[in-house]
């Protein structure tokens, strides 16, 4: 992914949400109180929160609109990332130890673990969201995505 410029107003994001978190509340599981939802959000990269890349795992739960969020602890003091260059962002879920590794340009940045990576993730299927938003000034920019790849290990 790359951006047309590095203005701090830009808010590029590449993230994953479970299809079960929807208006039908398919993320309410047996044994939970009525309307109590649980889901994992995987932010592969959210620009503008740090000098460089920021990937996070977020465990959400609660009854709408009163959700609780547990966020992993990414490095928010990382080196400047020139977003006008083509950068490769990645996230990998390891079900064997309930962790998510976050990569930038093929280098592991950090690994998120419980409690920000909840067991409910094993019950969920994820879809990709790519967005080019603004932090408020609405300064136009272009976000280019060169390629998206997804892999699933056979059980």
Within a domain: 155:
no
E strands, 5-142, are: 10-18, 37-46, 56-63, 66-71, 89-94, 99-104, 107-112, 126-134
Within a domain: 22:
yes
Q: How confident is the model at residue 84 (pLDDT cuts 50, 70, 90)?
A: very high
Average pLDDT, the chain: 95
Q: Is the pLDDT of residue 50 over 90?
A: no
Number of domains in the chain: 1
Predicted pLDDT at 102? 96
- Say how far apart CA 60 and CA 72 lie, in whole Å: 12
| Phi then psi dihedrals of residue 47, to 5 deg | -75, 150
Q: Is the pLDDT of residue 20 over 80?
A: yes
What is the domain extent for residue 110?
2-75+84-135
- CATH code: domain of residue 42: 2.60.120.200
CB 91 within 8 A of CB 103: yes
Q: Pick from 127, 78, 76, 119: which is nearest to 99 by CA?
A: 119
Q: Is the pLDDT of residue 155 over 70?
A: no
Predicted pLDDT at 154? 65
Q: What is the pTM of this model?
A: 0.94
Q: What is the average per-residue pLDDT within 43-69?
A: 94
């Amino acid at each position: 992914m790359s951006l047309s410029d590095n203005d701090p107003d830009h808010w590029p994001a590449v993230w994953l949400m479970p299809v079960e978190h929807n208006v039908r509340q398919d993320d309410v599981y047996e044994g939970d109180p009525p309307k109590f939802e649980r889901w994992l959000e995987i932010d592969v990269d959210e620009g503008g929160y740090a000098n460089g890349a920021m990937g996070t795992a977020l465990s959400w739960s609660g009854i709408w609109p009163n959700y609780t969020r547990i966020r992993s602890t990414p490095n928010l003091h990382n080196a400047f990332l020139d977003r006008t260059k083509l950068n490769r962002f990645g996230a990998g879920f390891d079900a064997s130890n309930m962790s998510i590794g976050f990569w930038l340009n093929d280098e592991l940045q950090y690994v998120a673990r419980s409690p920000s990576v909840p067991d409910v993730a094993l019950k969920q299927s994820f879809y990709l969201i790519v967005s080019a938003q603004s932090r408020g000034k609405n300064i136009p920019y272009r976000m280019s995505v060169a390629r998206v790849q997804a892999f699933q290990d056979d059980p």
